[in-house]
Amino acid sequence: MKATLPALARPMVEPHLPAGVEARWFATFEECLAMAPDAEVGWLDSNNPRNWARAVAAAPQLKWLSTIYAGLDLLDKDALIRQGTRITNGSGINAFAVAEYAVMGALVAAKRFDRVVRMADRREWPQEAPGKIELYGSRALILGYGAIGRLVGDRMAAFGVTVVPVTRSGAQGTLGPGEWRARIGEFDWIMLSAPSTPETRHMIGATELAAMKTSAWIVNVGRGDLIDQPALVEALERGRIGGAFLDTVTPEPLPPEDPLWAAPNAIHSMHLSGRSQTLMFRRAAELFVENLRAYAEGRPLRNEVDLAAGY
């Protein structure tokens, strides 16, 4: 069984390789491309997601792809289905960091700490706080209640926020997929942690923005295309909502001329949430070893993606 794997993971993975695995270790993208075509197993991640997608496309014999990425937006999923490739993703390995970032986004927005930092840079000593919202007693709608969304909900609840998730079942204490839009005006925080799928694309658009409280904030740690960005810019410019804390946007990087950069009350964190941690790569290596053993023994894989659904 030929496996193409990142050299950075070698010290954590090599001592635990099952018998029969022929591991090749790449240190550069060029090495990855050269090793990918005959790989049965691939952990082909790159610092550049587009290079990762190129490497996956160059591996037609791939039977199992492991990735630390949670989203598969850049991959040709139809081609992977045709060639019988299974995928396990990194869902959960950086969930704590992303959830902490989401709560930080709500706190920054509530206290307008972005303005506080700029005041300190200018050596100003204000008499009034720029943000006076308390999380306590507010209400949060969580769209995307997977590993990250649950952690976001738990942490917001610890601040005294009433948390209402959206779930497929619409179980008690949650809203179903067909219910949340009619209730969106009840919430102070719209927290997005959903994957990118045809069903979630632009789930927050002009209609939803118009129905929100004028004081409500969006916090997006999911995917940029969950929001109709031109509609968001217009809503921000017209003061129709309180603001938006955006860890993810479309495209990434956001072009310097994009109007979203300068939209009033838009706070950007440049998709740094998942990188703001120290343990993700170790967790990824542990997950890979666990799944490699399962793959070799014909057992179910943890974090296997439904390619037809896209997550």
Residues 237 and 177 in one domain: yes
pLDDT at 16: 96
Nearest to 236 by CA among 256, 216, 257: 216
Residues 158 and 281 in one domain: no
Residues 265 and 283 in one domain: no
Cα–Cα distance between 12 and 32 in angstroms, integer? Answer: 19
Nearest to 136 by CA among 106, 114, 164, 162: 162
Q: pLDDT band at residue 70, thresholds of 50, 70 and 90? A: confident
Over residues 190-201, the mean pLDDT reads 94
Residues 80 and 125 in one domain: no
Q: pLDDT band at residue 73, thresholds of 50, 70 and 90? A: confident
Residues 151 and 55 in one domain: no
Q: pLDDT over 90 for what percent of the chain?
A: 90
Q: Is the pLDDT assigned to residue 92 strictly greater than 90?
A: no
CA atoms within 13 A on the CB side of 49: 13
Q: Give me the residue label for tokens 């949650």.
A: 174
Over residues 55-83, the mean pLDDT reads 94
Q: pLDDT over 70 for what percent of the chain?
A: 100
Residues 242 and 182 in one domain: yes
The pair of three-digit structure tokens given for residue 24, joined into one six-digit string: 């090749």
Q: How many residues would you count in the chain? A: 311
Number of folded domains that form the chain: 2
Residues 87 and 187 in one domain: no
Q: Give me the residue label for tokens 């950069």.
A: 261
pTM of the model: 0.87
Q: pLDDT band at residue 104, thresholds of 50, 70 and 90? A: very high
What is the domain-level CATH number for residue 240?
3.40.50.720
Domain annotation covers residue 308: no
Residues 67 and 109 in one domain: no
Domain encompassing residue 112: 95-275
Cα–Cα distance between 285 and 21 in angstroms, integer? Answer: 16
pLDDT at 69: 87
Q: Is the pLDDT assigned to residue 167 strictly greater than 80?
A: yes
pLDDT at 265: 98
Domain annotation covers residue 225: yes
Q: pLDDT band at residue 100, thresholds of 50, 70 and 90? A: very high
Compute the mean pLDDT over every residue in the chain, rounded to the nearest whole number.
96
Over residues 264-282, the mean pLDDT reads 93
pLDDT at 308: 83
Domain annotation covers residue 311: no
Residues 170 and 150 in one domain: yes
Q: pLDDT band at residue 72, thresholds of 50, 70 and 90? A: confident
